[in-house]
Structure 1
């Protein structure tokens, strides 16, 4: 049974969007952690399956490709262990419920490879869903637009014939939340580190070649320093400023609530004194 709809928490949406905007030339990827809720006890609801996404696991790409992402079995295993730890912390069942990746400068719709990959995941878990963030696309007015789609795969071939999968869109709702949850704060904090690790691994691969001349080595080192600096400029600095602004805003709310509490306690004391 296909998923009826997906609820994506606003803070998890923020993490994925930050990750998608971190690279304009290559696709990024990650895994989605949450719950699958099945409603079948009410007469007015017919087997409603809702996927609730509340956390994200940002993945490091071992093989950087401009138009392809792959999730290894080891990464899926690590994500399952991470979901189990979150389940203990949050005191509710959590599991890996899907994957996400970006489409920079291209349409939001899944490619043939994306649909086949999704079908493979659904063979392991029929409730598994996929998210695609299309970023760095411009409309006719040259304004950057971000699009998001949620999909699953369905086999259109008759029984006994070779499978032919096509996408089906799943309704998706971004649900508001009071603030950033601790798991998603941790994912945001890990993002610059993961991006830096990807750059370092790519640089180290070039150093393994025995045929590089000195000029090429200097060039590769300069590219590595430049790309690492860009991560600090584009990701780490703005992210730190955003979190500091949120902290300042929350501290202001705490002061306002403390003031309201003192006023209410004073009003309560005066009422009790009068009686």
Structure 2
């Protein structure tokens, strides 16, 4: 189902709703009628492009260019620009000759991002998993970029069950400074609560378990994930192509011949 404001995919008892007019965020993910995502215009699960997390002082360099981004989380810039824009729905399962249960959305990078380019997000739903894919292309000059997802999972599903349990094994944790940015040191992972970036060189794998209800596993070929569980209402598990401040510390260039691509899969089973 698709309208000017939402696109809904269904598979078995799973349903996901995408809101292209609100930053192409997932507004809802329901499994067997249970809503997994925190509701609200700022929540759900939003894309982080062309950077993830914070940029220190909103500044980064691209070759000889010094770029200043708006400080939307003073004194830093946070979570990219595309979550604030209206995306275009390029394809839905209702379109002719579309056999897969997926929808495709696009967004042109515009001011305040200084480099023209295009972002594509593909959302594909199956009965037991959701797959999200990004492609970031340039229309001209090369530029550094990151891509990732920022889901807000409900801490409690509201059915009288227990709160979610987060389980993962990371090779390292990025030491967090007082400014919430990595210091550049890698340390042994610390116990939560977290607002921290972890390294998983063999790929991201984090499991969320609502005891007696549902187990959801987030995987990605990328090696970075931010885990945030400092709020009472929700927890966040954010697979991404680089760490916070990565446009400065771990830049990955989008070039005319090499786009930036990323993917994550969320799979689930009933308990």
- TM class by shorter chain equals under 0.3
Rg bigger for which structure?
Answer: 1
Give TM-score, length-normalised by structure 2: 0.25
The structure in which a higher percent of residues are helix is 1
The structure in which a higher percent of residues are strand is 2
Give TM-score, length-normalised by structure 1: 0.25
